[in-house]
A and B are shown apart, each in its own frame.
Chain A
Amino acid sequence: MKIQLKIWRQENARAQGRMVDYELTDINPEMSFLEMLDVLNEQLIQKGDMPVEFDHDCREGICGQCGLFINGRAHGPQEATTTCQLHMRHFKDGDTIYVEPFRSRAFPVIKDLRIDRSAFDRIIQAGGYISTRTGDAPEANAIPIGHDVAEAAFDAAACIGCGACVATCKNASAALFTGAKVSHLAMLPQGQPEAAERARKMVAQMEAEGFGHCTNTGACEVECPQEISIRHIARMNFEYNRAGALKK
């Protein structure tokens, strides 16, 4: 199939970027979106041009590295799909496809389609963990956890940190990402001892990174490749308020 591409090109973090047109003529509809970009890059390299830089790692929808804004939507037109799991068969022959980086003040562009998502890392570092003595792995059944609770916590734990929630949010809010992490650990017994502190610290870090507030539009849960529910945002708010109310 034949496609027209309009891709955001930007030399470096400080440079002014712009949309650049490319044309590809021999695209196999069974290719993934990233493979299509690989083909483009091969051609650019052969011509002696700079290839388009984009983030990716696993290419199987689990690492959260690939995140592109495709035709006006985070991770493209398919719901609950990462960019690497999007295939060219979802486009038509002759389509024009816009490819842009995820945008927000907290995710500065490094080059072309690559963005710096270290703000997410710092939110996790602020409290997205449990403190425990390391050593031998503990006996798996030492702490009984009901099946429903385990499943619910796992739904939240499934977040891959891709940043689509921020990219699609009209306020560039990181509430779904942070909410998923706060909620995941708050539901499990291992997370209980630090629940209050975690909620406080992660919310404070989210604020410090310059993300916007959540207005509950629900756009994030539609675009999230892991289908994380915005109920986890409510649970984060609950945990945060409870931490404030019970503060010693």
Chain B
Amino acid sequence: MFRKLSLPNSLTRKNLMALTGLFLCFFLVIHLAGNLQLLLPAERAQLQYNHYSELLSHNILIKIVSYVLYASIIAHTIYALVLTLRSRAAVGSQGYAYDRRGAVSPWYSRNMGILGTLIFFFLVVHMANFWYPYKFGEVPMDMAGRKDLYRVVVIAYREWWYVALYVVSMLVLGFHLLHGFYSAFQSLGLYHTKYGRWMNWAGRAYTLVITAGFILIPIWVFFTKPTPLP
């Protein structure tokens, strides 16, 4: 059974990592677009954000997408581990006495596993603080009688250390994306000589927008400190 489920070689495993990775990249766009509503003036942000959250949690399509998302994170992580262990074996136990290989590739491209692991821990914290209470915990209601996720978010971002955690985590994500976005197309074989340079720029632009966007939100909330309405 496990044999059948496991993919035949590193190339197919990398295809799976690339597809799940790109799906996560796609999700980040939607996630960021939705969260930019937090930047609206407090009163409107509260109503609109809570309305949006409720809409998402009742939509069957979003439900399916969210299950694909959970599966993607799990598969992406498992195959990261499988490939890393195999790569350890391939390298062998005898290392170089003098090793300057780091000079010929960017550091973040060599440390995708560490960056990914940090992202994974961030995801656990992130989901425990917002996703879990919203789905299973006690959340106060807003004026319109909707769960007040906006309040939960704003209260969390009032702590400077929490904002700092987010900023650092998003930088980690940024470096993961800086290599990951381009790498995924290369892994899938969609990295054509002619469009290669264009793809490089698309990857950098994507990374910049996503990283800057997710960093801006907690900082913005922290400094404008909007008081949530009663």
Contacts and interface: CB of A to CB of B under 8 A. Distances in A.
Interface in B48-96: 83, 86-87, 89-92, 94-96
Contacts of A173: 10, 87, 90
B35 interface: no
A88 interface: no
A100 B97 contact: yes
Q: Is the interface of B mostly helix, strand, loop or mixed?
A: helix
Interface string B3-22: 00000111111110000000
Interface string A206-243: 11001111111111001100000111011111111110
Q: Which of B9, B11, B100 neighbours the largest number of chain A CB atoms within 10 Å of its CB? A: B11
A59 B90 CA distance: 29
Q: Is the interface on chain A under 10, 10 to 19, 20 to 34, or 35 or more residues?
A: 35 or more
Interface string A1-23: 00000101000000001010000
Contacts, number: 141
Contact of B90 (A106, A168, A236, A239): A106
A213 B86 contact: yes
Interface stretch (A41-49, A69-77, A128-136, A139-147): A69-77
Contacts of A98: 97-98
Contacts of B188: 237-238, 241
A203 B12 CA distance: 10
B104 interface: yes
Contacts of B183: 215-216
A152 B112 CA distance: 31
Interface stretch (B26-34, B190-198, B219-227): B190-198
Contacts of A234: 185-186, 189-192
Contact of B97 (A6, A106, A152, A242): A6
Interface string B97-134: 11111011110011010000000000000000000000
B101 A103 contact: no
Given A204-B9, A218-B106, 19 more contacts: A17-B94, A71-B100, A73-B101, A98-B98, A168-B101, A170-B87, A173-B10, A204-B8, A206-B9, A211-B90, A212-B83, A213-B11, A213-B87, A214-B187, A217-B109, A223-B104, A237-B15, A241-B15, A241-B188
Interface of B: 8-15, 83, 86-87, 89-92, 94-101, 103-106, 109-110, 112, 179, 182-183, 185-193, 196
